[in-house]
Structure 1
Amino acid sequence: MTEDIITGIQRKLEKHLRPERYRHTIGVMYTAASLSMCHKGNMEKAMLAGLLHDCGKEYSIKEQKRLCREYKIPLTESELKMPALIHAKLGTYLTEHEYSIEDSEVLNAITYHTTGKPDMTLLEKIIYIADYIEPGRIAIPVLDKVRYVAFSNIEEAVALSAGSTISYLKKMGRDIDPMTIKTYEYYTKK
């Protein structure tokens, strides 16, 4: 992969995403690159997955659902109840079909960037955490601790992030995706 591919995708996303979403995307891309360097991952794949992780999020929820039906992307009951999760699967589809990225590691990292999953690959953990800790992220519980821990123990960072997400959703009286719970349980037992 060359720098030209990443630059071309950046230009396309800058036209497609709202400015604040684009800034977040660039923040995730560079945070993923930093985490990748720290944990000896593949920096190009981390940058690519970070850059494309929210490419399906700019559409309204109604449009995301319509596109999933059109593209025959199966949605779980949880995703239908919690439509904020849908953009991950739609983004994976768009990454493959609109941005011509067929690397399964990159596609899986995009798929699981919102919920995580047990036994994630290094790239999946990097994108999950980079989305949580990127510099533009508003202050959320345990953010500073996750930022600190992410560069020394990424698995602990995953457990902290998932736990914080679960606590927040419980406090707000919102549904929690079962995969987020499984992620938390898996990484707190490690």
Structure 2
Amino acid sequence: MEREIALQLVKPQLTEHRYQHTLGVMETAIMLAKAYGADVKKAELAAIFHDYAKFRPKEEMREIILSQGFPADLLDYNAELWHAPAGAYLAETEAGISDPEILSAIRYHTSGKARMSLLEKIIYLADYIEPGRHFPGVDEVRGMAAENLDRALLKSVQNTIMFLMKKNQPVYPETFHTYNDLIRNGRID
């Protein structure tokens, strides 16, 4: 699917602010894909569709999670996580994206997972560091991303876990699995 067609499909699903965020994620994903040897077109498409379901009704996302075999325990955590698996499903069924790598990158861009593929890492990190993001620690992760993808990913996951803990919010287990996998198997030294 060409960029302009993908953007035309996504734009009506998003607010203007979220659409600008999506453009930033797309440009960042392209940059990271080029730097780390990933498929640039796949990174571009996954980035464009990463927030496709962000503003769908919670009940619709809940139904997708339950009916499509996504882990039901996801519903016990912050609803901000739901749009990722729901978005992967909708990108496939509504937009016709069938590439499993792209769909997986969309699915795990909020939680991460153990043994992330290069494309999954790029989309997760591009969402975290795109130029429109402004929060404590993001500039440090941006700098790390230019040097070592796994180190930057680890720092972003650590920051997310600490943020949730400071707010007394539960941390989805896949996010802990992401952290543990990077510590155990990552090239972060």
TM-score (norm 2): 0.92
* CA distance 1:24–1:68, shift in 2 (3 Å): same
Distance 1:82 1:165, change over 3 A: same
Separation in structure 1 between the aligned mates of residue 15 and residue 142 of structure 2, nearest angstrom = 26
Q: CA deviation at 1:67?
A: 4.3
How do residues 58-73 of structure 1 correspond to structure 2 at under 5 angstroms? 58-69=55-66, 72-73=68-69
1:19 is aligned, of 10, 16, 21, to 16
Q: Which runs of 5+ in 2 are unaligned?
A: none
Counterpart of 2:4 in structure 1 is 7
1:50-105 deviation digits (Å, cap 9, x = unpaired) = 00001011113233224445x53534313333221111111000111111110011
Quote the residue 1:149 is aligned against.
144
Identical counterparts, % of pairs: 38
Matched, 1:116 2:112: yes
Q: Does 1:181 align with 2:176?
A: yes
* Structure 1 Cα separation of the partners of residues 121 and 169 of structure 2: 24
Q: 2:3, 2:45 within 8 Å by CA — same for their partners in 1?
A: yes
Verify: 1:125 aligned to 2:118, yes or no. Answer: no
Superposed counterparts of 1:41-120, under 5 Å: 41-69=38-66, 72-120=68-116
Moved more, 118-127 or 58-67: 58-67
Q: Which consecutive residues of structure 1, in runs of 5 or more, have no partner in the other structure?
A: none
Aligned residues between the structures:
185
One-letter identity of the residue aligned with 2:21? H
Q: Work out the CA distance in 1 between the residues paired with 2:61 and 2:21.
A: 20
| Preserved contact between residue 39 and residue 151 of structure 1 (Cα < 8 Å) | no
Aligned to 2:26: 29
SS of the equivalent of 2:82 reads: helix
Normalised by the length of structure 1, the TM-score is 0.91
Q: Deviations over 1:20-40 (max 9, x none)?
A: 111111111110000001111
Contact 1:46 1:126 in 2 (8 A): yes
2:97 counterpart SS class: coil
Q: What are the superposed Cα offsets for residues 100-126 of structure 1, whole Å, 9 maximum, x if unpaired?
A: 110011011111101111221110000
Partners of 2:74 and 2:82 within 8 A in 1:
no
- Cα RMSD of the aligned pairs, angstroms, is 1.5
Q: 1:145 Cα deviation (Å)?
A: 1.1
